[in-house]
């Protein structure tokens, strides 16, 4: 019995010792077993002064940054009333537009019939007579003067007189000529043919059939044109020459005929 009482007393004492730390003061370290590293934590906390928060302190709600009056847009003090246009009265009929007066067009007067009989036209009231100076370019040129030439036939023959017009391409080719005591008419006819083929501008020559116009010529010239050759032959034979460009004809006139005596320009 004593042994059982002793065991019960030890069990109660052990239970008392185990339950004692739970009822002790929180600052009493005698009955609380320290955690590992608790001393180092306590030393570090002691070196730093951490203010203790009061348990009675409560969080205050954040103050709003703006009020309701700042968000709302104030209305103007004076509000002008909007004018409402009256609706058109559909009961009244619109007045029809007035018709514009028509433009009266008078027909043209009929032409007056000539009082005189016949098919002759009626002259106008005013007749203007032109001097003809402005029509000079429209009128055909006057015919050239003509000279009589000797021929073997009984019918007299004439030859027109033209100026020495060298505006054609046949007078732009240059050739060399050399002959001794040669027939001038034959040389001139051959020269006109040669210059015409070279320039693609074929001419014919007239006046070489004059029975009194035969002559012999000796010439030695280099690079001369057809008009220069005509001048040389005319000077040595005592004759003259002219050109009709539209008809492409060269005239070699008889002796004694000089184109300077005729108004052909």
Q: List all residues 6 or more positions away from 229 whose beta carbon is below 8 Å from its beta carbon.
A: 175, 177, 188, 191, 219, 221
Can you give the pTM of this predicted structure? 0.47
pLDDT of 152 over the 90 cut: no
pLDDT of 50 over the 60 cut: no
207: domain CATH number is 3.55.50
Average model confidence (pLDDT) across the chain:
74
In a domain, 177, yes or no: yes
In a domain, 156, yes or no: no
DSSP conformation letters of 75-141: PPS--PPPPPPPPP-SSSPPPPPPPPPPPP-PPPPPPPPPSS-SSPPPPPS------SGGGTTTSPP
Closest CA to 177 of 187, 162, 164: 187
Q: If pLDDT is split at 50, 70 and 90, which confidence band does 243 have?
A: very high
In a domain, 90, yes or no: no
In a domain, 12, yes or no: no
Q: If pLDDT is split at 50, 70 and 90, which confidence band does 37 have?
A: low
Q: What is the dihedral of CA 68, 70, 73, 76, to 10 degrees?
A: 110
In a domain, 97, yes or no: no
CB 254 within 8 A of CB 239: yes
In a domain, 212, yes or no: yes
Q: Give CA 169 to chain center in angstroms.
A: 41
pLDDT (0 to 100) of residue 22? 47
**Domains in the chain: how many in total?**
1
pLDDT of 69 over the 60 cut: no
Structural domain harbouring 252: 170-258
A 10 A CB-CB count for 184 gives 23
In a domain, 7, yes or no: no
Mean pLDDT (whole number) for 197-222: 85
In a domain, 136, yes or no: no
Q: If pLDDT is split at 50, 70 and 90, which confidence band does 167 have?
A: very high
pLDDT (0 to 100) of residue 133? 61
Q: Look at 86 and 188; give whichever has higher pLDDT.
A: 188
pLDDT (0 to 100) of residue 80? 74
């Amino acid at each position: 019995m004593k042994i059982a009482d002793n065991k019960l007393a030890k069990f109660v004492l052990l239970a008392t010792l185990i339950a004692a730390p739970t009822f002790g003061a929180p600052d009493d370290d005698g009955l609380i077993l320290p955690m590992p590293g608790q001393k180092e934590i306590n030393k570090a906390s002691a070196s730093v002064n951490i203010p203790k928060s009061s348990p009675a302190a409560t969080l205050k709600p954040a103050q709003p940054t703006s009020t309701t009056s700042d968000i709302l847009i104030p209305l103007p003090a004076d509000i002008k009333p909007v004018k409402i246009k009256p609706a058109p009265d559909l009961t009244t009929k619109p007045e029809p537009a007035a018709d514009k007066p028509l433009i009266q067009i008078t027909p043209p007067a009929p032409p007056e019939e000539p009082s005189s009989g016949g098919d002759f036209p009626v002259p106008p009231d005013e007749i203007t007579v032109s001097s003809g100076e402005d029509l000079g370019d429209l009128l055909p040129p006057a015919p050239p003067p003509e000279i009589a030439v000797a021929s073997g036939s009984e019918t007299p023959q004439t030859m027109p007189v033209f100026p020495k017009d060298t505006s054609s391409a046949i007078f732009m080719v240059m050739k060399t000529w050399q002959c001794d005591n040669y027939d001038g008419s034959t040389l001139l006819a051959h020269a006109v043919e040669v210059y015409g083929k070279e320039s693609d501008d074929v001419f014919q020559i007239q006046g070489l059939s004059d029975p009194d116009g035969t002559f012999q010529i000796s010439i030695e010239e280099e690079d001369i044109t057809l008009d220069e050759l005509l001048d040389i032959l005319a000077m040595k034979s005592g004759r003259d020459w002219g050109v009709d460009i539209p008809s492409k004809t060269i005239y070699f006139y008889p002796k004694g005929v000089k184109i300077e005596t005729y108004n052909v320009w």
